[in-house]
Structure 1
Amino acid sequence: MKAFLVRAVSDAARSAFPEAADAPFDVSEPSAGIAADLSTNAALVLAKRLSRQPAAIAEALASRLKKIEGFREVQAARNGFLNFTFTDAFLLRALEERLQDSGPEPRPDRPILIEFVSANPTGPLHIGHGRGAALGDSLARVYRRRGFKVETEYYVNDMGIQMKVLSESVRARHAGLRGEKAVFPENGYQGSYIEGIARDMLAQGRTDFDRYPREALLDLIRSDLESFGVKFDHWFAESDLHSSGKVEKALKDLAAKGAVKEKDGALWFSPSGEEGEAGEKDKDRVLKKSDGKCTYFASDIAYHADKLDRGYGKCLDIWGHDHHGYVPLVEGALAALGAPEGAVNILLYQLVSLKRGGKRVSMSTRSGEFVTLKEVLDEAGRDACRFFFAMRSPSSQLEFDVDLAKKQSNENPVYYVQYVHARVCSIFKEGEKRGILLDETGPLAAGEAAALEAEERRLLLKLGLFEDHLDSVLALSSPHVLTGYLMDLAARFHKFYDRQRVLDAQPERRRARLRILKAVRETVRMGLDLLGVSAPERM
């Protein structure tokens, strides 16, 4: 629907002001209190280019746009905005297009790789990881819905100091279970899961502390993600980068670009060729330590170079906000290697706080004081977790109120939206009992429907904007646009259903309303599926 308006306004601008017709503009739903379906700031944008009054430009555009079939009214506001109201016929045509939708045309672009979660296999996933999982999986689903080829990947950090600490933590617990004295490592992992792994190893007679704990936790992570509705196309191990020689190759490539410097027996990333000041802020720039061991930074550079070598047109990394200081280093290294600008995008999301019984729950991975994703899934259910984790922009902190998520009432946002699907399904089942649906669900003929009521128009307009909202999800890299859309659609449905009859309406109105509700049902179902949430037929 927005695409239709963009084309119409662009054509009018080219006709009236060819010297500035390429100026980009926005199309949006109007502010509350404005009696219109959509608005645009095109006249304001053109006014800056032409150094003219926005109101005069808006009038010139409006005079051309009023001639286009589909607009009932085009209003040039005094502030320069153009406000549009569609005809009933246009909205009903858009409805039929929505119902006959067979999906987008596949895009010829190279595939997109989305890497997310990638939690170290040192413990169970916590709710912060859950937010990253919901974000990445929903974005992948929306990309696919819009015709893109998408692959998803989990990067397994199976090397480094944290894996050593995990091994030593399990070894110490294992010794304790055997009645031996053991020194627990400083900053070791304290969770009860560590003792559980040690007990399993003792029962199986296993002593491969460098392997079994990692594999056990990866199996647990996979299981939790599948319970959350998330499956990855690829699991990529850091150790494979080293065994294949790709880390050393990345370092050689950086050296060839003059982006490394030897200092204090170590190899440092230095894109300017300058040593810089040695200090705390420079420790992350070390690529290879004086003992010859490569750092995580070196592995990460090799990993991203490998992503691009695999032929992806775009790579999206989804990281927790605690990695914000690391982003410039990775971007700088890729730039030094000659990676195209924008080939790798890093999306940061704020972590999650849990509220239970009106109080916040504190979390710490090392001390074992954290709420696992599985625990919250068992308590609140997958649907609530997936929807709640997608309700805020990644840049906003998210408080997960587990008591609210468990409520079976309209206070609970996911229940509020799911109920719409169940309610429409029940209307159709009742219609089948009355024997009226089989003959009345076909496409509306031109001019068949009576004049639309206000509630019908509001529903039709929102339905027509579904794909536009999906484009906004991708533009902002945030599924909160979709949760907001579904909640608004649900509110419009409830208002419609409270005020208008469906099955008991006059035949000419009943036909249109059944078509509208069919589109509501399909749109809610699809929207929920893109979020990884079910659409129950009964509640």
Structure 2
Amino acid sequence: MYFEIKNDALKSIKNSLKKLNYEIPEDIKLEFPPNPKMGDLSTTVSFQLAKKLKMSPMDITTKIMENIETSEIFDRVKSKGPYINFFINYDLFSKKLLETVSDNCGKLPSTGKKIVLEHTSANPNGPLHIGHIRNSIIGDSLKRLLKTAGNEVDTQYYVNDMGRQIAMIVFGMEKLGLNIDEDLAENYKNNENQLDNKIDHQIGQLYFKVNEYINENNDQKIEVDNLIKTYESGSNPEKDKVFEKAVNDCLTGVKQTLSKLNVVHDDFIWEGRFVRNGDVDNLVKDLIATDYTKADEVLCLDLEDFGIEKELVLRRSDGTSLYSTRDLAYHKWKSEQGDSVLDILGSDHKLAIKQISIALNLLDEKSPEVIFYEFIILPEGSMSTRRGVFISVDELIEEAISRANKEIKDRRVDLDEEEINKISEEIGIGAIRYFISKVSPEKHITFKWDEALSFERGCASIQYAHARACKLLEKCGHFDLNEEKLSLSSDKIEDNWNLNDSEMDLIRTIAKFPLVVEESANMMRVHPIAQYAQDLASAFNKFYKSEQVLGCEIESARLLLVDKARIAIKNSLNLLGVAAPTKM
């Protein structure tokens, strides 16, 4: 609905400018005023035209206002200084909104564009830890947002199967007799107990032991190097199977963790494929042909002409490839899979991406768009690590669910254990995902449990608004809680519905959703969605507390409004990968 409003406002401005013979700016700025009493939409077009027309913005606004005409969707248009403010006709707008908001609220038309989005891509040498979680949540939420905004999105996890870490794990198994207990791992999968038994945690413990051993026995590094050479050459099929099993075992545990967080990848792309199929060798040859490479002990790309002192090493002295070379081959392949490539990376990767982008440009390939994020930390003393090395994502999830469980038990003595566990998981996972999503990636995050799990201002407050709406609708007798469907139609809206401030505020906020989706997708950021979900829940709670719904003279209109708010809350939470409980 706000798209219709926006288009009507733009049409009015353009027609006025045409009458004045003013050049129409390519992108006329429209924004939401900070206070709805100032209008529902506002334009700063007069500032855009001032320099070219050599007139003051105030004088331009006066001229535009003398010639402006609007559709019936607007109650009035007023100027405030140089600003032009549009006021919605809510009697007409509210009924149209209740007719048009459906289960796919927020979904935009297809753009015909395909985006290849890589995120998480942690080394398969142990469980995901606190340093990975922001990558996964930003990546998955962006996938949801960009798909809702009409794009085709393919999410990929780049698997580092040829790195030194995997060779060390294989070395530990073959030379040190360290093994994975498959029975314990299977028992964890079935019963979800004892994190130390989870297969990726077992591999992480094995890797830790091998690392300590190698540090104490430096001469054994050559053995690890030989394993890398053997696997890269593909000359020993039996050895390949050992490597592949180690990687797949770790990925099994990683996928379990991601699944808990509601994160699913479309593809897992193994870097080894680009070595085995010759892509890495061909890429190196193409880079040599650019005359920017030089060879001493190693082959590297000289980037000094591009303002980067650090060379990009392409091949080791023993002829084996490096992660950077394989990553280049992967990016070259990715650029052919879609219209654009998007990477989610920690801010410590900025130099590496500059190097890769220059190399890709030399080969006339697309450079990736990158969203860099700062790191997340836990306040000291809020959690203890199992091994004193890092805090795993599994531990963070366990802690969040445990804290949510205690909160629910304190609040709801009427629920059985199964219901409490389900709701606790929805709240715990929601707390993690929302707390991380609500902060722009450029800012550091300190994870605060009291804020994350707050029923007053955290994600739980938004989930609670959804549960409140469901409970109210269930009481009316027209709502199927299992299907989450209201059987009332918009032709039941009473003629005597005169909207008050809380109703208008809620309608205005629901209607903004598609525009927020569009703007967030254009800037490739999810934190505006998190803010929108909070604003929407606040508008709903204000309405819920101040207005009678059941048994009032305009019950049908208000029930429909509650249902449309419920849909918008649920869909906005879904963009963040957060469940919308029907009961809390």
Q: Which amino acid aligns with 2:131?
A: G
2:318 equivalent to 1:315: no
Please give the residue correspondences for 1:24-423 in structure 2 after superposition, counting only pairs within 5 Å: 24-32=27-35, 34-78=37-81, 80-88=82-90, 89-99=92-102, 104=107, 107=110, 109-168=112-171, 174=177, 194-195=204-205, 210=243, 212-256=245-289, 258-270=290-302, 281-283=309-311, 285-310=312-337, 312-340=338-366, 344-355=368-379, 359=381, 369-380=389-400, 381-407=428-454, 409-411=455-457, 413-423=458-468
Where do residues 518-529 of structure 1 align in structure 2 (5 Å cutoff)?
518-529=563-574
Q: How much identity, in percent, do the aligned residues show?
A: 27
Match of 2:548 among 501, 504, 507: 501
Match for 2:265: what amino acid? F
Where 1:478 maps in the other structure, the secondary structure is coil
- TM-score, normalised by the number of residues in structure 1: 0.84
Partner of 2:126, secondary structure, is coil
Q: Distance in 2 between matches of 1:434 and 1:320?
A: 45
Counterparts of 1:275 and 1:102, CA distance in 2: 47
Aligned to 2:579: 534
SS of residue paired to 1:20: coil
User: CA shift at 1:402, angstroms?
Assistant: 2.8
Does the CA contact (< 8 Å) of 1:173 and 1:198 recur in 2? no
Q: Which amino acid aligns with 2:433?
A: R
After superposition, give the CA deviation of every residue in 1:282-314 in whole Å (9 maximum; x if it has no partner). Answer: 24x11122322222221111111001223x011
Return 5+ residue gaps in structure 1 as ranges: 178-190, 200-205
Corresponding position: 1:443 with 2:498:
no
RMSD of aligned C-alpha atoms?
Answer: 3.3
Q: 1:38-73: CA deviations, max 9, x gaps?
A: 222222112233221112222333344453221112
CA gap 1:2/1:385 in 2 versus in 1, 3 angstroms: same
User: What is residue 467 of structure 1 aligned with on the other side?
Assistant: 514
Question: Residues 251 and 440 (structure 1 numbering): CA distance in 2 closer, same or farther, change over 3 Å?
Answer: closer
Instruction: State which drifts further: 94-103 or 492-501.
Output: 94-103
Deviations 1:489-538 (A, max 9, x none): 111111111211111321xx322211111100111111112211111111
Q: Secondary structure at the match of 2:490?
A: coil
Equivalent position of 2:414 in the other structure = none
**Alpha-carbon displacement from aligned partner over 1:93-115 (angstroms, at most 9, x marks no partner):** 13322237577565262421111
Match of 2:502 among 451, 455, 467: 455
Q: Equivalent residue for 1:425? A: 470
The letter for the 1-side match of 2:579 is S
> Could you give the per-residue CA deviations for residues 296-336 of structure 1, whole angstroms, max 9, x where no partner exists?
221111111001223x0111111112212212112111111
Mapped partners of 1:70, 1:232: distance in 2: 43
Letter matched to residue 290 of structure 1:
S
Query: Equivalents in 2 of 1:390, 1:332: separation in Å?
Result: 31
Q: Which moved more, 1:116-125 or 1:27-36?
A: 27-36
Deviations 1:455-484 (A, max 9, x none): 111111111110111112212222111110
Q: Which amino acid aligns with 1:57?
A: I
Aligned residues of 1:23 and 1:45 also touching (Cα < 8 A): no
Q: Deviations over 1:251-270 (max 9, x none)?
A: 222233x1532231432223
Quick one: which amino acid aligns to residue 241 of structure 1? F
Distance 2:268 2:384 in 1: 30
Contact 2:145 2:521 survives alignment (8 Å): yes
**TM-score, L = length of structure 2:** 0.78
Structure 2 CA distance, aligned partners of 1:23 and 1:529? 34
AA aligned opposite 2:83: F
Q: Check 1:441–1:529 CA distance in 2 against 1; reply closer, same or farther (3 A cut).
A: same
CA distance in structure 1 between the aligned counterparts of 2:118 and 2:399, rounded to whole angstroms: 28
Q: Is the CA contact (8 Å cut-off) linking 2:46 and 2:83 kept in structure 1?
A: yes
The 2-side partners of 1:505 and 1:171 are apart by 75
Work out the CA distance in 1 between the residues paired with 2:258 and 2:132.
Answer: 10
Quote the residue 2:229 is aligned against.
Answer: none
What is the deviation of 1:118?
A: 0.4
CA displacement 1:214-249 (0-9 Å, x = unmatched): 333222111111121111111001111100111111
**Shift in Å, 1:405:** 3.3
Verify the 8 A CA contact 1:170 1:213 in the aligned structure 2: no
Asked whether the equivalents of residues 259 and 271 of structure 1 are also in contact (C-alpha less than 8 Å), the reply is no
For structure 2, the 5+ residue unaligned runs are: 181-200, 210-237, 401-427
- Count matched residues: 501
Deviation of 1:170 after TM superposition, in Å, equals: 6.3
Q: Is the 8 A contact 2:107 2:514 kept in 1?
A: no
